[in-house]
Structures are given as C-alpha cells and as structure tokens.
C-alpha cells in the first residue's frame, strides 16, 4: 500500500526537510533532500543528508515522489554518523537506488558490516529492534565514499566541507555548505521549531564531553548562517543554539553525577531527567504535546545510560554508582 508521507518543509535554499514519520510521529527524525544546483545539476538529481531509519524508507521514498522526483535520482547520501536513526537506511538507498554513501572513514566499517552495531542495539531494544528500526542492509563496498575531516566534496555542483564533530559519537561529522548552512546531525543536540530549549543528545556508548566541547568550538568558529538538525529542523539563532546545547549537555551530566552522589537509584535518575526536561520546557511555556515530543526523542533511559557510561569511562574516580547497585 502506498504511504502518505507527512508534509515536507521547503527551506530557503531549495533544500527540503523530509519527515520520516518515525513510529507514527511527525517531526522527530528528519532527512534533508538537496536538489542539484545550477548548470552542474542535472534535472531530477539530488542528494540526501541522513538516510533515516530503514523501517521508514518507504515513507521517505514517498516524500521524494511527492516532490515530483524519482528516488532513483539520488546521487549521494551523506550520513553524519552510523546510529540507526541517521544511517539505518543508507545501505538500502545504495542497493535499491544506486546511491553512494558518504561517511567519516572512522564509521565506515559499521555500514559495510552492521552486525556489531545491530548486536549492540539489540542489547538495548531486544526483539523490538526490527519493529522499531527495521534492521540495516549492509552497504555494498563500491557504494562507500569514506571521507576525512576537512575534506571537500563536490555535491551537486556545490563545494561541501566535512567537519569532524566528535562528542555524541566518535565518528560524527557535520556537513558545511558554502552558504554557511551546516547539517549538524546530533552534534548540536535536539530542538523543535518554535522553542528555545535544546535537549542534550547523549546516548551510549561513545559520549565524550571534552571532545564535544572542541566540536562546539569548531562549529562556532564556522559562524554558520543556519543549523539544520536531524531532530528536527532549521534554526538561524545560531549563537543561542550552540550556547544552549553546550550548557545543557554539561548541566545534565553534572546533574546525573550529583544525583548519584546523593544516593539516587538509576530508575529515580531516569524520572529526574524527565522532570528536569519538563521543567526546562514548562519554564518557556511549552504545551504538553511539545513536552512529550522532547521526552520521546533520546529518551530518559538512553540519556541516563549514556551519561552514566561517560562518567564511568572518562572519570571513574568521580562516579559513585547507584544506590541500588553500588560500584
């Protein structure tokens, strides 16, 4: 049955934000479609930034068709990192539609052979993995375009720069367009249009706050005109956004440590993370639907697990353990 895609949003430079409609919700996971530009661009050709999860590929294909384009017009898929919500469908775009997939070299092996990545996701999601994310088709080796920090790519007639932005994940990259638009993946956190609150995106297993601070400095140094987040949309109040993302990421990490010091249990910490997120949103007048959307994206379980793992790995001398499972 043909899917009706959620509405897409056309952005200032003809790029389009497609909604993967993940888990029946709109506005949570995005894929950006960038039509090829000017004389160098051929009609009907385009690139994608992010693939979305594999379970949502039919919705994204329907979104492409709704723009009057054929999914086979895809040239490249640029993925910011290899988490399932960003790169899950990358291999499927290559095998179904002939896309080449651009990824930072450090993450490439997980696209070629997703078995380890899927095994670690299965430890979190169990048998619900396929239903939630839809697995991951291995990327054919000849479709892989592994890139390095600062490499320049010709993308549809534009010069696009790869910027390594570790922190959320070790192999995370942002993609810098010549007009100052930066596709940030999860390197600038999570935020929904119309709200000033940035939610830290801090899942396990590679969270590294020192590396992330350096990435925030790199992003700031670009003086971007606009940040395009995978979760979810375009934001032009760049200075506010980056400051809030960095400040809240540290504040949540510090809060978790303080709760553990107070003798909190892990489940209490999960509840407190949700309470903290809710209070930040209610302080700016957010409605209940907005609060729920924030809480559902990188949820409390993943957030607490990511921050706990960060403290254990990088500062074990400071981590007291949970009251219900000391050590």
Among positions 5-34, residues that touch Zn ion (CB under 5 A) are none
Instruction: Rank residues 86 and 158 by Cβ distance to Zn ion and give the closer one.
Output: 86
Half-sphere exposure of 156 (CA within 13 A, CB side): 26
Instruction: Rank residues 120 and 279 by Cβ distance to Zn ion and give the closer one.
Output: 120
Instruction: Rank residues 169 and 260 by Cβ distance to Zn ion and give the closer one.
Output: 169
Among positions 269-288, residues that touch Zn ion (CB under 5 A) are none
CB of 186 to Zn ion, least distance (A): 4
Instruction: Rank residues 69 and 84 by Cβ distance to Zn ion and give the closer one.
Output: 84
CB of 20 to Zn ion, least distance (A): 11
Instruction: Rank residues 35 and 107 by Cβ distance to Zn ion and give the closer one.
Output: 107
* Residue 50 binds Zn ion (CB under 5 A): no
3-state helix/strand/coil string of 123-172: HHHHHHHHHHHCCCCCCCHHHEEEECCCCEEEECCEEEEEEECCCCCCCC
Instruction: Rank residues 61 and 85 by Cβ distance to Zn ion and give the closer one.
Output: 85
The CA distance from 296 to 279, in Å, is 15
The CA distance from 133 to 85, in Å, is 7
* Residue 186 binds Zn ion (CB under 5 A): yes
Instruction: Rank residues 8 and 51 by Cβ distance to Zn ion and give the closer one.
Output: 51
* Distances in whole angstroms, Cα of residue 120 to Cα of each of 82, 108, 110, 124, 172: 13, 17, 12, 7, 18
Total chain residues near Zn ion (CB under 5 A): 2
Among positions 77-116, residues that touch Zn ion (CB under 5 A) are 85
The CA distance from 269 to 302, in Å, is 12
CB of 40 to Zn ion, least distance (A): 31
CB of 253 to Zn ion, least distance (A): 18
- Please, what is the Cα angle at 65 between 62 and 71, to 5 degrees? 90
Q: Cα dihedral sign for 202, 204, 208, 214?
A: negative
* Residue 206 binds Zn ion (CB under 5 A): no
The b-or-e profile of 286-302 (16+ CB within 10 A means b, else e) is beeebbebbbebbbbeb
CB of 230 to Zn ion, least distance (A): 6
Instruction: Rank residues 17 and 257 by Cβ distance to Zn ion and give the closer one.
Output: 17
E strands within the chain?
9-10, 16-19, 30-35, 46-49, 74-78, 100-104, 144-147, 152-155, 158-164, 173-176, 181-185, 226-229, 233-235, 321-322, 325-326
CB of 49 to Zn ion, least distance (A): 13
CB of 308 to Zn ion, least distance (A): 19
Stretch touching Zn ion by CB under 5 A, among 126-134, 159-167, 181-189, 284-292:
181-189
User: If you ran DSSP here, which 8-state letter would residue 266 be given?
Assistant: H
Q: Binding marks (x or -) toward Zn ion, 117..146, rule CB under 5 A?
A: ------------------------------
Residues that bind Zn ion (CB under 5 A): 85, 186
């Amino acid at each position: 049955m043909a899917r009706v895609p959620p509405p897409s949003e056309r952005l200032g430079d003809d790029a389009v934000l497609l909604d993967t409609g993940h888990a029946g919700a709109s506005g949570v996971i995005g894929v950006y479609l960038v039509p090829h530009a000017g004389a160098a661009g051929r009609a009907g050709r385009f690139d994608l930034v992010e693939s979305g999860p594999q379970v949502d590929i039919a919705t994204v294909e329907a979104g492409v068709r709704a723009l009057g384009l054929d999914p086979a017009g895809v040239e490249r898929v640029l993925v910011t990192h290899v988490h399932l919500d960003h790169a899950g469908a990358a291999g499927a775009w290559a095998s179904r539609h002939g896309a080449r997939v651009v990824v930072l070299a450090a993450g490439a092996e997980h696209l070629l052979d997703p078995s380890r990545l899927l095994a670690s996701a299965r430890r979190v999601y169990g048998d619900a993995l396929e239903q939630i994310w839809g697995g991951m088709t291995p990327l054919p080796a000849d479709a892989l375009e592994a890139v390095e920090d600062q490499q320049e790519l010709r993308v549809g007639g534009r010069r696009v720069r790869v910027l390594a932005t570790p922190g959320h994940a070790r192999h995370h990259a942002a993609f810098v367009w010549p007009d100052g638009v930066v596709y940030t993946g999860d390197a600038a956190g999570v935020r929904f249009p119309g709200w000033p609150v940035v939610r830290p995106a801090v899942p396990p297993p590679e969270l590294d706050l020192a590396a992330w601070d350096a990435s925030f400095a790199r992003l700031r140094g670009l003086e971007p005109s606009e940040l395009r987040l995978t979760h979810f949309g375009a934001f032009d109040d760049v200075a506010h956004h980056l400051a809030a993302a960095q400040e809240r990421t540290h504040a949540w990490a510090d809060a978790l440590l303080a709760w553990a010091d107070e003798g909190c249990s892990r489940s209490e910490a999960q509840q407190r993370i949700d309470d903290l997120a809710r209070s930040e949103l209610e302080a700016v007048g957010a409605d209940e639907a907005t609060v729920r959307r924030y809480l559902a994206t990188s949820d409390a379980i993943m957030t607490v697990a990511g921050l706990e793992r960060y403290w254990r790995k990088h500062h074990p001398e400071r981590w007291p353990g949970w009251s219900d499972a000391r050590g």
